Chain A
Amino acid sequence: MSNYFYVSPQQLINDRAEFAQKGIARGRSILAAIYDVGVVMVAENPSASLNKISEIYDRIAFAGVGRYNEFDRLREAGIRWADGTGFTYSREDVDARALANYYAQHIGDMFTEGPKPLEVEILVAQLGGTLRPTKLYRVAYEGTLTDEPHFAVLGGDAETIRSRFEASEAEPDGLATTLRHAVAALAGPERTIPVEDLEVCILEDRGGRRTFARLSDAEVATLLTE
């Protein structure tokens, strides 16, 4: 004979949220911002090979914080979904909003029904063009999907970083300025992040089909001193 203990849905959600928040807060944060002609994503990441930011498609990028194995699987699913959709229909039919929706559904399902919630927060960034606007879609650990108009912060320390960045940059600026503000907001007033611990990627039109670029340490250093 088994014993049933009643747990209120409110209690269950609070417990699960606390669990996910704790997991996410253990890692470093990511800031993504729209600048005058593109999107820049900045992560504090001491590893040069285990990336947090990745290319998904011609004009779409992915960033994830929290548990690496969990967000990397989501990243791979996103690339497969985008390449599969573009192969079946056309490259211009691959839309970041649709992908962000799938992510939100999956992460939301795992939050309420999974054995444990995913300890991740992710961002789907889309560089605008003739067909679509530039967008930053943020998916939180419980599946909430938000569309951030100017910049987005992922990770445990998001509120502090958000207010620091907001104070320094009121509206989109050039890449060098935005990157400087982003790095300063991630670091805070008491410390500086060495260039080798920064992972910086951009989405920007450079004449070709693909717009994603991973900036080298040297490129980041040059931009930060501009």
Chain B
Amino acid sequence: MGLPLYGAQDDPGPSFLAYAQREGLVSLATGPEALSPHATTVVALRYAGGVVMVGDRQATANYVASRDVRKIEAADRFTALAISGSAARGMEFIRMAQLSFEHYEKMTDTALSLEGKANYLSPIIQRNNLGSPLVVIPLLAGWDPSHRRGRVFEYDGAGGCYERQDFTTIGSGSPFAESALRLGFRADLSLEEALDLGALALYEAGDNDPATGGPDFVRGIYPMMVVLDERGFTELANDDVAARFRAIQERRAATSGVAGGTLR
């Protein structure tokens, strides 16, 4: 790769995607969907001080392809990205997004706004999903330093970006996770309540959806839990996550697997 110098008329600007496409660093080859394992369920919900995200760790391709995939990644200090759908395209998508936000910051000496990041991802999703069967549905959540609140953005298959005021879910376990969130969500959730509700929603998805990996007590692999607040991106320690899922498991075991009329 030589030195990428451009004239003022054909300069790709601070967009890494524009530069990468121009130089052929990314391609959009298509092929059968079965080539790539699938990543599944992630939930994101707002609480008073930010956003909580919980994601399972399983990748599925008719069999369990991997039990410890990370589907939530920090895109930068205040932003997290999660993916569902084709694992290959999803990982490339996360890499492209992470790099793009950093590239923009280095080129212009200013960070992109959270809404700017959300909009930037739309054409990437559109280009991928309308041009190939290896569909990716992302989720963007973060602390917005200029508006001082947590924000959640969901995408449809064609790249449409929608901000949600409450919560959103992606992946095959969505219907089950969403049901739990719909019953348990309040606008004034505390951080602890939001973490417990998010964990419960993911537990429900793992319980009902064969492609979603719930807590794996045998291997000690638990869903990822992430908090985004004014201090930035924090991932909960494995022990903390294990304790939350063990508590749910014990409550359920005591009532023979029935939630028992309360959200627990």
Contact = CB atoms under 8 A, between A and B. Distances in A.
A94 B109 CA distance: 21
Interface stretch (A6-14, A84-92, A189-197): A84-92
A79 B106 CA distance: 7
Given A54-B109, A83-B16, A84-B25, A103 B1 contact: no
Contacts of B96: 87
Interface residues of B, number: 21
Given A51-B109, A54-B109, A79-B107, A84 B20 contact: yes
A106 B3 contact: yes
Interface residues of A, number: 23
A106 B6 CA distance: 13
A102 B5 CA distance: 11
Contacts of A54: 106, 109
A187 B162 CA distance: 54
A206 interface: no
B103 A79 contact: yes
B2 A102 contact: yes
Contacts of A85: 1
B191 interface: no
B99 A77 contact: no
Contacts of B25: 84, 87-88
Contacts of A49: 109
A22 interface: no
A54 B25 CA distance: 24
Contacts of B19: 80, 83-84
A73 B5 contact: yes
Contact of A83 (B2, B11, B103): B103
Nearest to A82: B106
B10 interface: no
B91 to A, nearest CB: 13
A55 interface: yes
Contacts of B4: 77, 80-81, 84
A171 interface: no
Contacts of A77: 3-6
A87 B103 CA distance: 11
Contacts of B107: 76, 79
A87 B109 contact: no
Tell me if A's interface is mostly helix, strand, loop or mixed: helix
B32 to A, nearest CB: 26
A88 B1 contact: yes
Interface in A51-81: 51, 54-56, 73-74, 76-81
Interface in B1-45: 1-6, 11-12, 16, 19-20, 23, 25
Interface in A126-166: none
Contacts of B23: 84
Interface string B92-120: 00011001001100110100000000000
Contacts of B3: 77-78, 81, 102-103, 105-106
A143 B5 CA distance: 16
Contacts of A87: 16, 20, 25, 95-96, 99
Interface string B73-99: 000000000000000000000011001
B5 A106 contact: yes
Contacts of A78: 3
A81 B99 contact: no
A84 B1 contact: yes
B164 to A, nearest CB: 30
Contacts of A102: 2-3
Contacts of A83: 16, 19, 99, 102-103, 106
Contacts of A74: 5
A85 B25 CA distance: 9
24 contacts: A49-B109, A51-B109, A54-B106, A54-B109, A77-B3, A77-B4, A79-B106, A80-B103, A81-B1, A81-B3, A83-B99, A84-B1, A84-B19, A84-B20, A84-B25, A85-B1, A86-B99, A87-B25, A88-B1, A88-B25, A102-B2, A105-B3, A106-B3, A106-B5
Interface of A: 49, 51, 54-56, 73-74, 76-81, 83-88, 102-103, 105-106
Interface of B: 1-6, 11-12, 16, 19-20, 23, 25, 95-96, 99, 102-103, 106-107, 109
Given A77-B5, A88-B1, 4 more contacts: A73-B5, A83-B16, A102-B3, A106-B5
Q: Which 4 residue pairs across A and B have the least CB separation, nearest first?
A: A102-B3, A80-B4, A77-B5, A79-B106
